[in-house]
């Protein structure tokens, strides 16, 4: 008899379950301040809470295909209709579904690093080969490098994914660069998880009308503040969305998330309040720490801020450990560009942001 290990497909064998240690810690110790996972610090609006209660009572019922919420999404984004919209259990599931439709073992996914970690995980689980193209670190900025992305394309490239704005750098790629990549015809995912913080005017959604290979992904986890709900979506050409939707897990989005998402999309005021708060706090943190000698702050259009404190002579990991002693969970960032001073924080509530400012200043100036 062969041992069970021999039956696993090689690309799954040995991969550990994805566990986010900082999220585990935050749930175990709720007195710690969660400034690490790009969550929204505000609880759901009353309208959303009412929808949670209302549809909680219908949790004995299977969801339908979500035509109502998909139509609402189409409407908000100025695309033809629900046939241009696919729903996911968070946008993470959307990446998974798209990857499964295009990628065979040994084929390549191009990502632009540093970036969100899920692209790599979903690529690995399919036996794909991840090609990481680094951004350029120049004059205290991390810049998109479209030439390098285009140069990384081979005949095995099946997906290119770029987040806009990018996590963790918080900046946008130039609109003309999207066209240069889209013109290649390769499935091109533009991950707009944080775009609502700058408004949909910054979205590249218009590209889907011209390019069948472009897919836009979004989530309600960030500006809408519903990370625990798990709701994301993709926008694309109707034929492409139709084909990818064929690979969806049946009833992947539950009755509660589907209808609560609709309420959240309708509660325009709640979104605006969250966006305004976030953006003024980002500015406040950036201004407050602008005078710390040697600390590089990356101007963010999202709900997190990346720092490089290498020139202070202190490491990012030590910063994160120091913050934890003060009750704040920050996010470490592995050394890159030969520098080890990186860390990131997610915006919290007003008092949390002030604690973070004091903690960072104390760490670098003590």
Ligand X SMILES: Cc1ncc(COP(=O)(O)O)c(C=O)c1O
Cβ 239 vs Cβ 212: under 8 Å:
yes
211 near ligand X, rule: CB under 6 A? no
Indicate whether 333 belongs to the interface with ligand X (CB under 6 A): no
Pairwise CA distance, residues 195 & 146, whole Å: 20
Binding status of residue 92 toward ligand X by CB under 6 A: yes
296 in helix, strand or coil? strand
Q: Shortest distance, CB of residue 232 to ligand X, whole angstroms?
A: 4
As measured in angstroms, the least distance from the Cβ of 219 to ligand X is 3
Q: Single out the residue of 63, 232, 257, 348 in contact with ligand X (rule: CB under 6 A).
A: 232
278 binds ligand X (CB under 6 A): no
From 153, 186, 227, 336, residue interacting with ligand X (rule: CB under 6 A): 227
From residue 275, how far is each of 47, 195, 199, 216, 242 by CA, in Å? 17, 10, 9, 21, 32
Interface pick for ligand X out of 219, 245, 315, 359 (rule CB under 6 A): 219
Task: Kindly state whether residue 44 participates in binding ligand X, applying the rule CB under 6 A.
Answer: no
Question: Is residue 90 a contact residue for ligand X (CB under 6 A)?
Answer: yes
Backbone dihedral angles phi then psi of residue 242, each to the nearest 5 degrees? -60, -45
167: contact with ligand X by CB under 6 A: yes
Which span (19-27, 86-94, 264-272, 312-320) binds ligand X, by CB under 6 A?
Answer: 86-94
Of 135, 139, 159, the residue nearest 147 (C-alpha):
135
User: Binding residues for ligand X, how many (CB under 6 A)?
Assistant: 13
Instruction: Choose which of 133, 162, 163, 324 interacts with ligand X (CB under 6 A).
Output: 163
Candidates 325, 285, 288; CA nearest to 305 is: 285
**Any idea of the CA torsion for 99, 161, 341, 26, to the nearest 10 degrees?**
-50
CB of 13 to ligand X, least distance (A): 25
Residue among 96 and 177 whose Cβ is closer to ligand X = 96
Residue 303 engages ligand X in binding (rule: CB under 6 A) = no
Q: How far is CA 351 from CA 209, 225, 324, in A?
A: 44, 18, 16
To ligand X, the closest distance from the beta carbon of 164 in angstroms equals 9
In the 8-state DSSP scheme, what is residue 336?
B
Q: How far is the CB of 90 from ligand X (least distance, A)?
A: 3
The length of the chain, given as a count of residues = 366
Task: Say how far residue 345 (Cα) sits from the centre of its chain.
Answer: 14
- Least separation, in Å, of the C-beta of 81 and ligand X? 23
For residues 206 and 74, what is the distance between their CA atoms, to the nearest angstrom? 12
Smaller CB separation from ligand X, 193 or 323: 193
Query: Which part of the chain contacts ligand X (CB under 6 A), choosing from 44-52, 84-92, 265-273, 309-317?
Result: 84-92
Only segment of 51-59, 88-96, 279-287, 291-299 that touches ligand X (CB under 6 A): 88-96
- Does 359 contact ligand X by CB under 6 A? no
Q: For residue 191, what are the β-bridge partners?
A: 163, 217
Least separation, in Å, of the C-beta of 113 and ligand X?
12
Three-state DSSP at 139 gives coil
Among the listed residues 111, 171, 221, 346, the single contact to ligand X using CB under 6 A:
221
**Distance of CA 181 to CAs 111, 137, 169, Å?**
12, 21, 20
Is position 116 an interface residue for ligand X (rule: CB under 6 A)?
yes
Q: Which two tokens stand for residue 176?
A: 């003309």
Please, which residue, 38 or 146, has the CB nearer to ligand X?
38
Judged on CB neighbours under 10 Å (0-12, 13-18, 19+), 336 is middle
Q: Is 99 in the site for ligand X (CB under 6 A)?
A: no
Closer Cβ to ligand X, 23 or 153, answer by number: 23
Longest alpha-carbon distance in the chain: 67
Q: What is the dihedral of CA 209, 180, 305, 341, to 10 degrees?
A: 150
The answer to the question of residue 111 lying near ligand X (CB under 6 A) is no
Chain residues in the site for ligand X (CB under 6 A): 38, 90-92, 116, 163, 167, 191, 193, 219, 221, 227, 232
């Amino acid at each position: 008899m062969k041992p069970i290990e021999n039956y696993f497909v090689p690309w799954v064998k040995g991969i550990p379950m994805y566990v986010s240690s900082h999220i585990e810690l935050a749930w175990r110790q709720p007195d710690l301040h969660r400034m690490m996972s790009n969550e929204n610090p505000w609880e759901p609006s009353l309208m959303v809470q009412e929808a949670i209660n209302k549809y909680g009572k219908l949790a004995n019922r299977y969801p339908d295909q979500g035509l109502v919420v998909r139509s609402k999404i189409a409407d908000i984004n100025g695309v033809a209709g629900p046939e241009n919209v696919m729903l996911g259990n968070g946008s993470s599931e959307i990446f998974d579904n798209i990857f499964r439709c295009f990628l065979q073992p040994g084929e390549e996914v191009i990502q632009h690093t540093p970036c969100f970690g899920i692209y790599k995980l979903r690529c690995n689980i399919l036996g794909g080969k991840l090609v990481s193209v680094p951004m350029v670190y120049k004059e205290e900025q991390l810049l998109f490098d479209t030439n390098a992305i285009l140069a990384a394309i081979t005949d095995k490239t099946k997906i290119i994914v770029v987040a806009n704005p990018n996590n963790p750098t918080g900046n946008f790629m130039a609109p003309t660069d999207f066209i240069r990549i889209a013109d290649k015809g390769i499935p091109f995912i533009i991950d707009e998880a944080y775009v609502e913080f700058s408004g949909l005017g910054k979205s590249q959604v218009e590209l889907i009308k011209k390019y069948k290979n472009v897919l836009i992904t979004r989530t309600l986890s960030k500006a809408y503040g519903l990370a625990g709900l798990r709701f994301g979506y993709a926008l694309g050409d109707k034929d492409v969305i139709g084909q990818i939707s064929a690979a969806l897990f049946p009833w992947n989005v539950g009755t509660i998330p589907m209808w609560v998402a609709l309420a959240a999309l309708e509660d325009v005021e709640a979104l605006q309040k969250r966006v305004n708060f976030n953006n003024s706090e980002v500015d406040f943190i950036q201004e407050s720490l602008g005078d710390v000698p040697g600390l590089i702050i990356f101007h963010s259009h999202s709900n997190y801020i990346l720092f490089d404190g290498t020139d202070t002579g202190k490491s990012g990991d030590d910063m994160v450990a120091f913050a934890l002693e003060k009750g704040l969970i920050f996010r470490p960032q592995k050394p890159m560009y030969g520098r080890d001073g990186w860390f990131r924080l997610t915006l919290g509530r007003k008092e949390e942001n002030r604690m973070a400012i004091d903690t960072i200043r104390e760490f670098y100036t003590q």
